[in-house]
A and B are shown apart, each in its own frame.
Chain A
């Protein structure tokens, strides 16, 4: 093949450039220690790297959840130990042990007073809060779960812990404040209008209601409209909607004579349904309420869309499952607080007999044992959390190792490669001078 000087020069130039560009790449690599800078350099590794990063983020989430759950558990454990010590006190020689056949009226009165004092302490402890949550509230932790009704009976979330009857609730009216108008949707209507988005715009007095999307747009002529018009429109619209169990005429707007001149948008909220006093509530269900958190146990939902319980961690502690609830067929309460109260009442009764109080004392002994059982079971949960936390920490180390394997190159390799390339480049430079040789013309006379 015929060779010209131009060809040689071009080829050398190209190869030298490639060598220099490789040198540049390797020098960058030994600084950043990354195996690839663009996904296109190694697509398979890039996809693996993205997945590993996601796992790392999830792992961090689980660890945060566990830390929070552990703190919650510790506070709860503390409270439970306090209840236990109260029960211990009650069971001591000068209170329950002191109840005999032959007590005098004054003795009985003293014991009853001590029992009542212990009762108060129980309520205070069971309303313990942790980080703005009432820890013994089950799945409703925004307000104190335990309270007393007018007769001194213990109520758990407004339900009598012994009889299971609801103390009654008037309901809360849903409210909305838009375009300067205060709208009250009526206590009796409860939560029926919650989540409706209501818009007030300038127009000719029609309304558009969508019960599926829960939106209502009302047009009022801002030149002449007053809050009376708004009230009328609302009542007409919701009457036409025909939501079951609602009375639209309970919808009221404040200050009916004043005008409406601005557009407004808002979501109706805050409505709670009223509950009749004496409604029967399933105490068993209340005691078994669960609040789940995701600890990386493989969150799964079954085909019906319900959470598979083993795949998440339950952090709820309904107070009545610990204190006991309900009553036996002969009217002996199973709840410790109610028991103490019942014993005190029977002691103060002039017609006191030891036989009458015996069932209560036996039940107290049984419930006192159960307290300890409850605390032990609780300890198992705490252990599980500690074990899971250790596992997660190990998993974090493993994922980090994987990330470093996929994305990073070790410094020895990077520097060796760079040095080799540097050597090759310098060798090429030296050779180049000899390749671009003098030609025949230099030797002609």
Chain B
């Protein structure tokens, strides 16, 4: 004999399931344009007959299925695509932050549309040519001195602007990099806690998962991260998922950043005066305020929490390269050229320029030169930031430029012979070697060519970084499209689903009324005879 009211449960479950489906479809449709939303679906399982092995089991003609069971809600998301996206996004962040700094440098050094050092060098040469025809003339020398004054001021200005660019990058790094990352880490840790609590209570918290994924995407732009999910015991024989986020270091070592709801923070190291150190150093701080001491899996020790060398990609790496690397000027020379390289190239150029002209004008052949044209305003080595007209030249009352180094024909005077002035003009076209203090050759060529070389190197670096940036942008956009393809809401699909689920609801409801009618005969129309 079949149970009378059993099928009602089947019908009820059918209606329930159809309602749940409609609800989820409605959720998907309303969130079709929400950023980061992953489409959801109901997990439905058909229910089998359950009591066949019990003492009072139903007989075999009642072993039919008992409806549909709503297992829960889940989202459709491909986690491999997430990993892929985050890797590409890190590269994008790297090239983006480098372009920022390089753009600032380009504004300083690029003379395509502005008149800068190159024009001023040409002007000094022009004044020397004029002086060659008027050697010994105080007025022509004054004009030359004014031109040289403009040149040294321009050197000073370039050097100042490079400093400003560097400080701007440090500021951007602090606010747009470190502070932002710290906030992200805290938010993700907080979300982790909430998600775990929700899942222990049985709520899949899909919306929170979407939120967390968006934050993780953002974090991936800053550094090379990996996410690890582990199952942990949540009491009462249940298990809940925990998420931890690791920074992948230079050699593959992992440095833990977030451990479920606890996170670490980054900070810039300061020196005794409270200024940022040179080179920039980044430290990892534990939740309790102490400095992290080692990587988690490889036990690589950290000196005072210093993780500066562990960033291989992401914005952090971009900023650190631009702020800390100086190409050939580093010891040992590094392959990356940051702001430091251009700053020191400018210094080398200023120094070489001053040296050769001081030597040309003086009558002795070794430093200290007795008729220098340029000197350092603060007494140290001559650099772009401190090059100035020498005190001797500023105070000279008569003719100061040595116009000839040939002795006059005994005692007749030859102040208008100009061979030394021509030698000075020739300095602009003579090949010189520009090298670092450690004697690494930077460039061989004329003064003007060295200056052009600085511009050219920068232009090439900008061009190649821009090309990389464009490639990475395309890659990221491509992966984003693939993600969208998997997880995005298609209104056509949802529309069809609406019709489908609506029909299912109608069908289940009709089934219910059929049962109702069937029972109606037994309940209301049996046993009426003889009343």
Option from B409, B411, B494 in Cβ contact (under 8 Å) with A169: B411
Residue from the list B122, B398, B484 in contact with A269, Cβ < 8 A: B398
Cβ contact within 8 Å between B484 and A212: no
Q: Please tell me if the beta carbons of A305 and B395 are within 8 angstroms of each other in the complex.
A: no
**B-binding segment of A105-113, A290-298, A343-351, A361-369:** A290-298
What total count of A-B pairs have CB within 8 Å? 223
Residue of A53, A272, A279, A292 with most chain B CB atoms under a 10 A cut-off: A292
Q: Is A98 an interface residue (CB 8 A)?
A: no
B: number of interface residues (CB 8 Å): 77
Contacts of B388 in A (CB 8 A): none
**A257 lies within 8 A of chain B by Cβ:** no
Does A57 have its Cβ within 8 Å of any Cβ on chain B? Answer: yes
Please measure, in the bound complex, the distance between the C-alpha atom of A26 and the C-alpha atom of B369, giving whole angstroms.
Answer: 55
A301 at the interface (CB under 8 A from B): yes
Q: Given A267-B392, A307-B422, A43–B459 Cβ distance below 8 Å?
A: yes
Among residues of A, the one whose C-beta sits closest to the C-beta of B490 is: A4
Which of B33, B395, B466 sits near A266, CB closer than 8 Å? B395
B338 at the interface (CB under 8 A from A): no
Q: Contact string, B109-132, partner A, CB cutoff 8 A, digits 1/0?
A: 011110000100010011001101
- For residue B406, give the distance in angstroms from its CB to the closest CB of chain A: 9
Report A1-18 residues with CB < 8 Å from chain B CB: 1-7, 10-11, 14
Confirm or deny: B448 has a beta carbon within 8 angstroms of a beta carbon on chain A: yes
With contacts A39-B456, A281-B411, A289-B417 taken as known, whether A440 is within 8 angstroms of B112 at the C-beta atoms is no
* Interchain CB contact under 8 A, B452 and A4: no
CB–CB B410/A281 < 8 A: yes
Q: Which residues of B contact A195 (CB under 8 A)?
A: 363, 370-371, 392
B484 A444 Cβ-Cβ under 8 A = no
- Contact call B122/A38, Cβ cutoff below 8 A: no
Least Cβ–Cβ distance between A166 and chain B, in angstroms = 6
Return chain A residues, CB-CB under 8 Å to B415. 139-140, 142
Q: Name the B residues within 8 Å of A39 (CB-CB).
A: 106, 110-112, 455-456, 458-459, 462
A interface residues, tally (CB under 8 Å) = 85
1/0 per position for A411-445, CB-CB distance to B under 8 A? Answer: 00000000000000000000000000001110010
B411's partner among A58, A133, A210, A275 (CB-CB below 8 A) is: A275
Are B133's CB and A315's CB within 8 A?
Answer: yes
Question: Is there contact, CB below 8 Å, between B368 and A36?
Answer: no
Contacts of A305 in B (CB 8 A): 423
Contact, CB under 8 Å: B495 / A137: no
| A49 on interface, CB distance cutoff 8 Å | yes
Cβ proximity bits A46-76 to B, threshold 8 Å, 1 near / 0 not? 1101110110011011101100110000000
With a cutoff of 8 Å between Cβ atoms, the chain B residues found around residue A10 in the complex are 481, 484
How far is B499's CA from A271's CA once the two chains are assembled, in angstroms? 110
Indicate if the CB atoms of B118 and A54 lie closer than 8 Å: yes
Within 8 A of A (CB), among B400-424: 400, 404, 408-419, 422-423
**Given known contacts A50-B452, A270-B398, A285-B409, is B136 in contact with A142 (CB within 8 Å)?**
yes
Partner of A6, one of B412, B426, B484: B484
Q: Residue on B with the closest CB to A131?
A: B134
Q: A39-B110, A279-B410 are in contact. Are A139 and B491 (CB under 8 A)?
A: no
Asked if B425 is at the interface (CB within 8 A of a chain A CB), the reply is yes
* Residue A265 lies at the interface, judged by CB distance under 8 Å to chain B: yes
- Interface residue? B429 (CB, 8 A): yes
Interface string of B362-374 (1 = CB under 8 A from A): 0110101111000
- Decide: B368 and A213 in contact? CB cutoff 8 A: yes
Q: Given A291-B418, A299-B422: A140 and B412 within 8 A (CB)?
A: yes
> In the bound complex, how far is the Cα of B133 from the Cα of A142, in angstroms?
13
**Are B112 and A293 in touch, CB under 8 angstroms?**
no
A286 and B412 contact, Cβ closer than 8 Å, known pairs A2-B485, A6-B32: yes
Taking the nearest CB of chain A, how far is it from the CB of B512, in angstroms? Answer: 25
Whether B175 is near chain A, meaning CB under 8 Å from some CB there, is no
Interchain CA distance A266-B423 in the complex, whole Å: 27
Supposing A65-B129, A140-B413 touch, asked if A6 and B489 sit within 8 A by C-beta, the answer is yes
Q: Compute how far the CA of A22 lies from the CA of B218 in the bound complex, rounded to whole angstroms.
A: 29
Known: A43-B460, A47-B452, A141-B416. A197 touches B392 (CB 8 A): yes
Contact status B498-A444, CB under 8 Å? yes
Q: Is A391 on the interface with B (CB-CB < 8 A)?
A: no
Contact A38 B112 (CB under 8 A): yes
Asked whether any CB of chain B lies closer than 8 Å to the CB of A394, the reply is no
Contacts of A215 in B (CB 8 A): 392
Task: Offer 11 A-B interface pairs, CB within 8 angstroms, sorted by A.
Answer: A4-B489, A5-B490, A40-B458, A54-B122, A140-B408, A140-B413, A142-B136, A195-B371, A213-B368, A267-B395, A441-B491
15 more CB-based (< 8 A) A-B contacts, given A69-B133, A159-B412: A5-B490, A39-B462, A43-B459, A54-B118, A62-B129, A65-B129, A132-B137, A133-B134, A140-B412, A142-B136, A267-B392, A279-B410, A281-B412, A307-B419, A441-B491
The 9 A-B pairs at the shortest CB distance, nearest first, are namely: A213-B368, A40-B462, A39-B459, A43-B459, A139-B417, A440-B495, A4-B488, A440-B492, A214-B370
Binding site for A on B (CB under 8 A): 32-33, 106, 110-113, 118, 122, 125-126, 129-130, 132-137, 363-364, 366, 368-371, 391-392, 395-400, 404, 408-419, 422-423, 425-426, 429, 448, 452, 455-456, 458-460, 462-463, 466, 477, 481, 484-486, 488-492, 494-496, 498-499
